[in-house]
Amino acid sequence: MGVCIKALGEGVPLGQVVFFRSAVALVPLVLFLRWSGAFPKGLATKNPFGHIVRCVFGAVAMFTSFATIRLLPLAEATLLSYLAPVMLALMGWILLREAPSARRIGGVALGLAGGAAFCLPALSGEVPEGATLGLILGLATAVLTAGALIQVRRLTLAGENAGAIAFWFAVVCSIAGLATLPLGWVMPDPDQLALLVGAGLAGGAAHILMTLSFRHAEASALAPFEYLSILWAAGAGFTFFGEVPNWSFLLAAPLILAGSLVSLKRAPRAPAGAAQER
């Protein structure tokens, strides 16, 4: 998905990308929900306001995430997303009154140290034009994603179906992307259309695979596999776009990944299976 979005560059407006990513993803998502017996009866909700809050956080995060991918190398944009579990731990303490363990305090400290290390080039003026904005948007994405996951947790604790959470999120993101139509869309050429559809299918397939994986294994066992995406992102960035991570990435990566993994500990089952904005 990230490769498709990166390859589109500035040729397609951001809102149009969000629309295609979300609308196309509905196709495999609905087919999967129907196959699993959760469509349409599983889409009913007793907490529409809670879904609205979750969707607002997630939709804005999708916009900032895709903008980050445009502005930063793919590996760096992916790395910043791993600050979300750190932010999730912080918000859990503040909003959910969860007791902070020594393990999670250490994870947050490592993650924040990595984030600070990642910002060093920007503070010293060593980054190319647009990269500072990409860094800011990447950090904002981590905070917004954590806020969305906090709300997902609240919804699941209230008995909401994971399929409903995922479906309504995709619908709202499609509407949010479509709302940018008056700002100017373009008629995509065949290559751009293939990339737009590819981003949606990849995002939808990723959600389905995550859902299935969490049915067959514990979240704590699956967490390390999620972190392989940084290797895929670095490899794809180098292969398709000639991107080479800089020194701040090499310094920040082990800190952020370690902090994220420690903060995650035993991740809640619902957030990972409920829908990602990536």
Task: Look at residue 240 and tell me if it is in a domain.
Answer: yes
Q: What is the 3-state secondary structure (H, E, C) of 104-148?
A: HHHHHHHHHHHHHHHHHHHHCCCCCCCHHHHHHHHHHHHHHHHHH
Residue 174 has pLDDT above 90, yes or no: yes
More confident residue, 227 or 230: 230
Residue 84 has pLDDT above 60, yes or no: yes
CB distance 85 to 265 below 8 Å: no
Residue 1 has pLDDT above 60, yes or no: yes
Q: According to the model, what pLDDT value does residue 140 have?
A: 93
Q: How far apart are CA 44 and CA 49, in angstroms?
A: 13
Question: Mean pLDDT over residues 222-228, rounded?
Answer: 64
pLDDT band at residue 263, thresholds of 50, 70 and 90? low
Count of C-beta atoms within a 10 Å radius of residue 38: 18
Q: How far apart are CA 79 and CA 85, in angstroms?
A: 12
Task: Look at residue 245 and tell me if it is in a domain.
Answer: yes
DSSP 1: -
Task: Look at residue 272 and tell me if it is in a domain.
Answer: no
Locate the DSSP E strands across the chain. none
Q: Indicate the number of domains in the chain.
A: 1
Task: Look at residue 270 and tell me if it is in a domain.
Answer: no
Task: Look at residue 267 and tell me if it is in a domain.
Answer: no
The most confident of 47-51, 89-93, 175-179, 230-234, by mean pLDDT: 175-179
pLDDT band at residue 225, thresholds of 50, 70 and 90? low
Question: Domain limits at 183?
Answer: 1-262
Task: Look at residue 274 and tell me if it is in a domain.
Answer: no
pTM: 0.82
Question: Mean pLDDT over residues 78-85, rounded?
Answer: 79
More confident residue, 163 or 2: 2
CB distance 193 to 18 below 8 Å: no
Tokens for 272, please give them. Answer: 């990972």
Task: Look at residue 218 and tell me if it is in a domain.
Answer: yes
Task: Look at residue 6 and tell me if it is in a domain.
Answer: yes
Question: Mean pLDDT over residues 29-48, rounded?
Answer: 85
102-159: pLDDT as tens digits: 776 777 777 777 777 766 665 555 566 678 888 899 989 988 988 888 888 788 778 7
